[in-house]
Amino acid sequence: MPQDPDPRPTILIVEDIVFIRMMTEDYFETAGFRTLSARSTSEAIAFLETDPTIGYLFADIHLPDGEDGQILAEIARRRWPPVKIILTSADIPADQVRLPVRGLFVPKPYSLDKVRKAFEKMA
The number of distinct structural domains making up the chain is: 1
Whether 85 is covered by a domain: the verdict is yes
The answer on pLDDT for 94 being more than 60 is: yes
Q: Which domain holds residue 19?
A: 10-121
Whether 89 is covered by a domain: the verdict is yes
Whether 1 is covered by a domain: the verdict is no
The reported pLDDT for the residue numbered 67 is 84
The mean pLDDT of the chain is 94
CATH code where residue 95 lies: 3.40.50.2300
Among the listed residues 103, 8, 9, the one whose alpha carbon sits nearest the alpha carbon of residue 61: 103
The reported pLDDT for the residue numbered 1 is 57
Contacts of 92 (CB under 8 A, 6+ apart): 61
Whether 5 is covered by a domain: the verdict is no
The pLDDT of 45-64, averaged and rounded, is: 96
Whether 4 is covered by a domain: the verdict is no
Contacts of 91 (CB under 8 A, 6+ apart): 61, 62
Whether 16 is covered by a domain: the verdict is yes
